[in-house]
Amino acid sequence: MTQICWLKTVRHHRAIGVIRASELALGFRMAEAIAQAGMTLIEIAWNSDQAATLVTQLREALPDCQIGVGTIMTVDQLRVAIAAGAQFCFCPHVNLDIIQTAVANDIPIIPGALSPTEIVTAWQAGASSVKIFPVETMGGSQYIQSLQGPLGHIPLIPTGGVTLENAVALIEAGAVGVGLSSYLFPKGALQSGDWPAITRRTEQLLHQLLP
């Protein structure tokens, strides 16, 4: 997927659901629940149980979704993820080797950054967009808005503390999309297997972001 296609997709769907699961079967059910609500961008954290297997299974089970990976720390991890079928990659830091490897494999790469220097470094190295993490710690939508003056040409995807209440504000502040995890998957719902509740939360979010 080219950078232009990636940005068009994110701007169209606005939200990425992030799954971090301690068991393979749990991760699969989590993905099913948000996909049922219409979430089409699904990120599998690499520190999930059998993350590569989960990516492969979801590529087959959810053909209308784009399945990517997150929490990628090394080039070797990225290569395994690509072989498993990952369609995009998030990582928590700016690593030039990871960025270059993703670009060479035509995989959208979204490194994590916080300071303007990190953001610009990632973008100039070939990032498809830049993850701002953890956004709420830095002031949420106000921080995203403050970056727009000098860095408005760089597409930003804030994560870390994103909820139904602040997601719209982040988009309005200039973010191209948002990443959510704990909001979509409350501990109580996961423990009880209340998948309809997770689907409803996802539907509410998408309704707010895609009026």
The answer as to whether 211 is a domain residue is: no
186 burial type by CB count under 10 A (0-12 exposed, 13-18 middle, 19+ buried): middle
Residue numbers of the domain that contains 169: 3-204
The answer as to whether 38 is a domain residue is: yes
The answer as to whether 9 is a domain residue is: yes
Give pTM, 2 decimals: 0.96
Write out pLDDT tens, residues 10-33. Answer: 999 999 999 999 999 999 999 999
Q: How far apart are CA 2 and CA 66, in angstroms?
A: 14
The answer as to whether 210 is a domain residue is: no
Q: How far apart are CA 190 and CA 16, in angstroms?
A: 19
The answer as to whether 209 is a domain residue is: no
Write out pLDDT tens, residues 39-72. Answer: 999 999 999 999 999 999 999 999 999 999 999 9
CATH at 43: 3.20.20.70
Strands 130-132 and 109-113: parallel
Q: Which residues sit opposite 68 in a β-bridge?
A: 43
Q: How many domains does the chain have?
A: 1
Name the phi and psi angles at 89, rounded to 5. -140, 125
